[in-house]
Amino acid sequence: MNGYFSFEKLKSILTYVENDPLIFSTSLFMILFAGVLLIYNLLHKNKNLRILFLIFFSLYFYYKSAGYYFGIIILSAFANYYIGKFIAATENFSIKRIWLWGGIALNVGLLSYFKYTNFLIQIYNDISNGTIEPLAIFLPIGISFYTFKSLSYIFDVYLDLMPTAKSLRDFSLYVFFFPNILAGPIDRAADFIPQIDNEPVISNEDLGRAVFLISLGLIKKVVIADYISLNFVDRIFDYPLRYTGMENLLALYGYTLQVYCDFSGYSDMAIGIALFMGFKLMDNFNSPFKATSVAEFWRRWHISLSKWLLDYLFKPMQFSLRQMQIFGNMISLTTTFLICGIWHGAGWNFIYWGLLHGIYMSVGILLQKPKTYIYKKLKIYNTPFLKFFQVLITFHLVVFSFLVFRTPDTQIIKDVMSQIYEFLHPEVFFQFVEEMPVVFALFVIGYLFHFLPTVVEKTTLKMVTWLPWIGKAVLLAAVIWIAAQFKSADIQPFIYFQF
């Protein structure tokens, strides 16, 4: 019966439900998190209990998203902690290297089994007309993130960049920590583990930043990303040939904004939630569409992943190919981005997307010197005029790459591009503005705020920090209320410009 309390109902809410992870923007998470914060603060004097409580809740959070596969994460943490110990226990580099490769094989093997087995079977079937049935493999959510977190730990211990974690307890908290277990940021053990010993004293600045980030994240994720995807983007990409080139183009810009708001919004919330408990996670996004080159885009987009790939994949590869100089860099870059694509998912679209970025970056290296020479000759080097066009071109290269990222079906890519080039109908833009004012307003708000100078964000953050705690609470409540309105809004009618 609806509205009637029963333990059965409570149990069904609190136990694992397939494909229904405990994401930050749900009311269940907000209620649970309020309780967790309360208990966590009551335990703040007892370090051991406080940490164990956080480990317990993190495991519950993961169980709620992955079911009994939380056993894998426990085994993974256990194995990686001891691999780190064995690496640090010897001065003999050959033995260190054996343990390192053992650790890589374990982590990559686990990730590959869950994530890529069926994709490999599909490729084999396609090549050899085989009929091998796909295996019934459940993909444990977040496995790409916690595997990379564990790998960074054993790499850093191997390179002597950090001491081993003092205990299995501390290492487990690093791996399980619920704010970033499902979708990053892929924090470094060297930054996270030393924070475990600190008493969770939250300064007013941290509290202000936490409220600011959670509010911003909710607006990005629920208000912008979810709304424009449901009401506009998805419908166009489902049947691109039913719409004009203008609608397809707008859907492309919309999808780019959606991906950014979805992912950076989640990261903002994760960083804010961690701050509430006294932990500082690394930044993950820094206005990526302001980049003047694809290389700069990757210094601003999913920073924790791109830095991971740079430190542990690109640099060792680049070093071993150093005699090949510029071509060594190009091979290393293309391979790194290919792996970056594969990391995102088992599908050709991710592989093409990664390769495309590898090609962008490699061409960028080849053109760097002649471009600088021409810019200096034309006296436009380092001018706002040049920067404007660099941002514009980089943005469109990224937008195109997201079309590849979005769809596993290459026919859809062809359809979208052919509609844009052969059937643009620019006048449809005015119809779009008139008929879909909310979607249009969200486009404007999303992009306008993105391109505002950094000082605006800093000033807003200062203002939120300056607010008394009651003001911060009211602000957060208001944002949650706005997000709830958008979440419950019906899907907007979308028939006016179909033919």
Partner 1 sequence: MISKELKSVILDVLHLDDFDLHDETIAPDVPGWDSLTHINIILAVEKKFSIKFKSYEVLRLKNVGDLQKLVDLKLAK
- Residues marked as catalytic: 344
Stretch that binds partner 1, among 201-209, 230-238, 266-274, 320-328 (CB under 8 A): 320-328
39 binds partner 1 (CB under 8 A): no
Q: How far is the CB of 19 from partner 1 (least distance, A)?
A: 39
Binds partner 1 (CB under 8 A): choice among 39, 75, 238, 315:
315
Map residues 88-107 to x or -, x wherever contact with partner 1 holds by CB under 8 A.
Answer: -----x--------------
Stretch that binds partner 1, among 155-163, 221-229, 240-248, 425-433 (CB under 8 A): 155-163
Whole-Å CA distances, 179 to 81, 146, 199, 207, 351: 21, 12, 18, 16, 28
335 binds partner 1 (CB under 8 A): no
Instruction: Give φ, ψ of 494 to 5 degrees.
Output: -150, 70
Environment class of residue 102 by beta-carbon count within 10 Å: exposed (0-12), middle (13-18) or buried (19+)? middle
Q: Residue 303 in contact with residue 282, Cβ under 8 Å?
A: yes
Which string of DSSP letters, residue by residue, matches 48-76? HHHHHHHHHHHHHHHHHHHGGGHHHHHHH
Interacting residues with partner 1 between 418 and 477 (CB under 8 A): none
Q: How far is the CB of 159 from partner 1 (least distance, A)?
A: 4
Q: How far is the CB of 324 from partner 1 (least distance, A)?
A: 10
93 or 389, CB closer to partner 1? 93
Interacting residues with partner 1 between 285 and 314 (CB under 8 A): 310-311, 314
Stretch that binds partner 1, among 23-31, 39-47, 316-324, 347-355 (CB under 8 A): 316-324
Distance CA 266, CA 262 (A): 6
Stretch that binds partner 1, among 16-24, 75-83, 154-162, 211-219 (CB under 8 A): 154-162
Map residues 106-145 to x or -, x wherever contact with partner 1 holds by CB under 8 A.
Answer: ----------------------------------------
9 binds partner 1 (CB under 8 A): no
87 or 277, CB closer to partner 1? 87
Instruction: Give φ, ψ of 442 to 5 degrees.
Output: -70, -35
The helix or strand, by DSSP H or E, that contains position 276, with its residue range, turns out to be helix 245-276
Stretch that binds partner 1, among 62-70, 222-230, 236-244, 321-329 (CB under 8 A): 321-329
Distance CA 377, CA 365 (A): 20
161 binds partner 1 (CB under 8 A): yes
Q: How far is the CB of 160 from partner 1 (least distance, A)?
A: 6
Distance CA 145, CA 484 (A): 29
Distance CA 414, CA 68 (A): 42
Structure tokens at 218: 């909710």
Q: How far is the CB of 155 from partner 1 (least distance, A)?
A: 9
6 binds partner 1 (CB under 8 A): no
Which string of DSSP letters, residue by residue, matches 342-374? HHH-SSHHHHHHHHHHHHHHHHHHHHHHHHHHH
322 binds partner 1 (CB under 8 A): yes
Structure tokens at 395: 């943005």
Q: How many CB atoms are located within 10 Å of the residue 175 CB?
A: 26
Distance CA 103, CA 46 (A): 34
Binds partner 1 (CB under 8 A): choice among 67, 102, 194, 328:
328
Strand ranges for 409-463 from DSSP E = none
* Interaction site with partner 1 (CB under 8 A): 93, 158-161, 310-311, 314-316, 318-320, 322-323, 325, 328-329, 365
